[in-house]
């Protein structure tokens, strides 16, 4: 006896999916079986149900035969449920009276045995028929999308995405953890392969962010909590104290001048520790916002409570300095989120034989960027730690990349930045530069040409992995200073070479940020094995994530160069804009609801909801589900001990009937 509507008129459609299904499942026998099921008035099979003629067949039948339920035995509902729901709707049927029996992924593709395949397909169809009989028409519901975006990360990816959105007239909240936006790009000297000055192309964008009326820039701040879902996220942002009021400071830097520390003596992380800063400082000259900040670990007033406070005197009537500033948490509501949290560089000190951290003249590429940069600690002069200009430089490729011990992947940008550094070092110092590479990879616009140019400039290329970097054994080196010797197997010559150099530059890998795992959990993003954030589809949805309304831009998704980052940032902004401009998004139809009489307000469900959609109505002492926030995950429904939490399309009776249907043919 079938439960449900008394006047059931169910149509069953068996899709061949070419030979995907029909090659294993006897579709005619399945059709005949379906016809015998109670409530079924018509059963057909067709080569491609998802094709236009297939959908047309469905629509015709609904209209001509007065079908009031449809079962399509085909592929996974994640592919074509929407197709068949839409077709049914066009024929005047409520779209939720359609049920898919997945006989491709769950049947045809998992066996070669025609007999068991037919049995299992029958079970699925029988389950679907019994379930669909209990389906009720549901209304489609939409929620508005707040026309405001959160961009997390103020590197070039975040900057680009924020500007594109803001230029399109949308409000943007741009959050940056560091005191200034700019990210890694702000540290670079030149960019490959065009050798544009990084600052020259970046700082106008940074300034544009600062001045844009649609962008609210929150630096020195971090997102600490995200609630809600697409269209209506509530985000909490922790803002660290700068001890200088951003709205009062005019960036005159008088306080920095006046600090009781007359000499800068604290390592500046922006210069990778090669340059020094005072307790009150600005990370770099073009920082945005152009507001200094005070390091509470270094400032005498903040650390010991005692200081002449010459900075306060210097600031004078502006009164921008505020030693009482505290961490504050601000809350914002946004409709969409772009995650552009970037990367960190691989720490090469874990590779002992390169001597990084022990041998003073072994540098990471990023440190050399700072040495080359006119705004850097040496004002653009390439000077070793002992003040010498290097005469011989070795650049070691693939440090931490393409190495199963560290990162199996290729970091994509190292070859090109190594070539750029080779060019710049040679240009600035006239040094002999040795590039020790495994393979040179230049698959980009103008990249191969740049490689040729650097070769023509006389940079040496040695194909082989550097096995060792050692100090020159005791005895006076050149100019009495100790030099370095690299050992590398030149695989083209077939011999091991030992090359004396003054400087070793490690072309280090790009890797996920140390806190990437927490960040991705907060935003509901998956990650790939190496820890970079996972796009929804590697080819067809490269900026979407598993969470609707959360998009990816830049190297947080995987190593990429500036043009690719900018392109992806614009793509993410476009996706965000498309959502915002659509104005609304359809809700999952299978949302949960509370049967108010049955709910005892026990609070079991409330902390379980991943979307914070459930709250307790204190007056009525029951749980209440915000339908706009519910994503239909079913967690509360499964956990509700009183059976008060129920789910549309997944009612207990519907599930029971489906099971009964399946089990009666197993």
Give the residues lining the site for another protein (CB under 8 A): 597-604, 606-608, 621, 635, 638-644, 652, 656
Could you tell me the smallest distance in angstroms from the CB atom of residue 528 to another protein? 21
What number of H helices and E strands is found in the chain? 16, 34
Calpha distance 47→119 (Å, rounded): 20
State in angstroms the smallest separation of the CB of 599 from another protein: 7
Count CB neighbours of 305 within 10 A.
8
Using the minimum distance from each CB to another protein, give the nearer residue, 159 or 623. 623
Task: Specify the DSSP class assigned to residue 438.
Answer: S
Backbone angles phi, psi at 366, to 5 degrees: -70, -35
DSSP 3-state assignment of 497?
strand
User: Residue 596: which of 563, 574, 614, 621 has the closest Cα?
Assistant: 621
User: CA angle at residue 527 from 525 to 533, to 5 degrees?
Assistant: 70
Q: What six digits make up the tokens of 229?
A: 């879902």
Tokens of 233: 């996220």
Q: What is the nearest approach in angstroms of another protein to the Cβ of residue 124? A: 22
Q: Between residues 224 and 659, which has the closer beta carbon with respect to another protein?
A: 659
Q: Which is nearer to another protein, 293 or 637 (CB)?
A: 637
Cβ-count burial of 337 within 10 angstroms (0-12 exposed, 13-18 middle, 19+ buried)? buried
Task: Give me 508's structure tokens.
Answer: 């280090």
DSSP bridge partners of 13: 44, 72
User: What distance in Å separates the CA atoms of residue 593 and residue 511, rounded to the nearest whole number?
Assistant: 43
Question: Which stretches within 193-318 are classed as H helix?
Answer: 198-211, 254-258, 300-304, 310-315
- Residues ≥6 apart with Cβ < 8 Å to 596: 620, 622, 644
Q: Minimum CB separation from another protein for residue 69, in Å? A: 23
Tokens coding 109: 């593709």
477 versus 634: smaller Cβ distance to another protein: 634
Closer residue to another protein in complex, CB, 470/518: 518
Distance CA 266, CA 50 (A): 66
3-state secondary structure of 366: helix
Q: Are 101 and 45 in contact (CB under 8 A)?
A: no
Q: Which is nearer to another protein, 98 or 640 (CB)?
A: 640
In the complex with another protein, which residue's Cβ is closer, 477 or 651?
A: 651
**Nearer to another protein by C-beta: 266 or 593?**
593
The kind and range of the H/E element at 249 are none
> Minimum CB separation from another protein for residue 580, in Å?
35
**11 vs 524, which CB is nearer to another protein?**
524
Nearer to another protein, 310 or 604 (CB): 604
Q: How far is the CB of 606 from another protein (least distance, A)?
A: 8
Question: What are the DSSP calls for 533-594, one per residue?
Answer: BPPSBTTTBSSB-SSTTEEE-GGGSS---HHHHHHHHHHHHHHHHHHHHH-EEEPPS--EEE
158 or 524: CB nearest another protein:
524
* Residue (383 or 602) nearer to another protein, CB: 602
Task: State the nearest-atom distance from the C-beta of 612 to another protein, in Å.
Answer: 14
SS3 content of the chain, % helix, strand, coil (to 5): 30, 25, 45
Residue 136 or 479 with smaller CB distance to another protein: 136
Instruction: Specify the DSSP element, H or E, that contains 655.
Output: helix 652-663
CA distance 311 to 320: 10
Indicate the helix (H) or strand (E) that contains 69. Answer: strand 69-74
- The minimum distance between CB 527 and another protein, in angstroms, equals 17
Beta carbon of residue 639, minimum distance to another protein (angstroms, whole number):
4
Residues linked to residue 433 through DSSP beta bridges, in sequence order: 393
**Residue 204: Cβ-neighbour burial (10 angstroms; 0-12, 13-18, 19+):** exposed
Please state the closest distance from residue 140 (CB atom) to another protein, in A: 27
The upper half-sphere exposure of residue 658, i.e. CA atoms within 13 Å in the direction of its Cβ, equals 17
CB of 591 to another protein, least distance (A): 19
Which is nearest to 179 in space by CA: 149, 161, 206? 206
Q: Least distance from C-beta 595 to another protein, angstroms?
A: 8
User: Would you say 379 or 621 has its CB closer to another protein?
Assistant: 621
Shortest Å distance, C-beta 127 to another protein: 17
Nearest distance from residue 234's CB to another protein, in Å?
20
């Amino acid at each position: 006896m079938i439960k449900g509507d008394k006047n059931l008129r169910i149509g069953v459609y068996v899709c061949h999916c070419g030979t995907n299904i029909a090659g294993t499942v006897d579709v005619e026998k399945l059709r005949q079986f379906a016809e015998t099921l109670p409530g079924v008035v018509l059963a057909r099979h067709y080569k491609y149900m998802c094709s236009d003629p297939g959908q047309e067949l469905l629509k015709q039948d609904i209209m001509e035969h007065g079908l009031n339920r449809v079962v399509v035995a085909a592929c996974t509902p994640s592919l074509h449920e929407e197709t068949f729901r839409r077709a049914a709707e066009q024929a005047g049927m409520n779209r939720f009276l359609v049920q898919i029996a997945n006989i491709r992924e769950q049947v045809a593709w998992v066996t070669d045995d025609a007999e068991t395949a037919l049995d299992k397909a029958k079970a699925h169809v029988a389950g679907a028929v019994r379930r669909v009989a209990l389906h009720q028409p549901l209304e489609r519901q939409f929620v508005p999308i707040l026309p405001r975006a959160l961009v997390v990360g103020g590197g070039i990816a975040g900057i680009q995405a924020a500007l594109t959105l803001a230029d399109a007239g949308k409000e943007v909240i741009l959050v940056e953890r560091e005191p200034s936006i700019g990210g890694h790009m702000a540290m670079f000297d030149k960019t490959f392969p065009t050798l544009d000055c990084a600052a020259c192309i970046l700082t106008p964008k940074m300034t544009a962010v600062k001045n844009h009326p649609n962008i609210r820039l929150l630096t020195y701040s971090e997102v600490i909590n995200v609630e809600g879902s697409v269209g209506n996220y509530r985000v909490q942002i922790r803002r660290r104290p700068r001890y200088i009021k951003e709205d009062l400071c005019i960036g005159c830097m008088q306080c920095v001048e006046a600090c009781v520390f007359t000499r800068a003596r604290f390592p500046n992380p922006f210069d990778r520790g090669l340059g020094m800063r005072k307790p009150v400082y600005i990370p770099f000259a073009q920082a945005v916002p152009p507001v200094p900040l005070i390091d509470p670990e270094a400032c005498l007033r903040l650390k010991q409570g005692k200081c002449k406070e010459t900075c306060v005197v210097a600031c004078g009537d502006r009164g921008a300095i505020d030693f009482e500033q505290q961490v504050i948490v601000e809350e914002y509501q946004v409709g969409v989120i772009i995650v552009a949290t970037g990367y960190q560089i691989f720490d090469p000190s874990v590779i002992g034989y390169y001597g990084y951290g022990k041998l003073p003249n072994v540098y990471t590429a990023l440190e050399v960027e700072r040495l080359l940069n006119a705004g850097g600690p040496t004002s653009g002069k390439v000077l070793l730690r002992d003040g010498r200009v290097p005469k011989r430089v070795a650049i070691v490729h693939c440090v931490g990349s393409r190495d199963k011990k560290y990162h199996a992947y290729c970091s994509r940008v190292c070859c090109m930045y190594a070539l750029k550094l080779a060019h710049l070092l040679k240009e600035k110092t006239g040094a002999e530069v040795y590039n020790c590479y495994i393979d040179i990879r230049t698959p980009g616009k103008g990249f191969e040409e740049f490689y040729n140019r650097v070769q023509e400039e006389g940079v040496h290329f040695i194909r082989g992995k550097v096995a060792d970097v050692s100090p020159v054994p005791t005895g006076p080196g050149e100019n009495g200073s100790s030099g370095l010797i690299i050992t590398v197997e030149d695989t083209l010559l077939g011999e091991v070479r030992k090359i004396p150099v003054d400087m070793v530059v490690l072309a280090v890998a790009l890797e996920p940020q140390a806190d990437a795992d927490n960040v991705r959990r907060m935003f509901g993003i998956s990650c790939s094995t190496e820890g970079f954030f996972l796009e929804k589809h590697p080819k067809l949805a490269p900026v979407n994530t598993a969470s609707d309304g959360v998009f990816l831009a830049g190297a947080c998704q995987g190593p990429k160069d500036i043009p690719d980052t900018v392109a992806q940032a614009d793509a993410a902004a476009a996706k965000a804009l498309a959502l915002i401009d659509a104005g609304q998004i359809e809700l999952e139809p299978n949302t949960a609801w509370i049967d108010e009489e049955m709910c005892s307000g026990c609070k079991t469900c409330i902390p379980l909801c991943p979307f914070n959609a459930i709250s307790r109505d204190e007056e009525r002492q029951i749980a209440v589900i915000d339908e706009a926030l519910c994503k239909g995950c079913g967690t509360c429904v499964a956990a509700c001990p009183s059976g008060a939490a129920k789910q549309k399309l997944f009612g207990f009776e519907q599930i029971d009937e489906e099971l009964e249907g399946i089990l009666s043919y197993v």
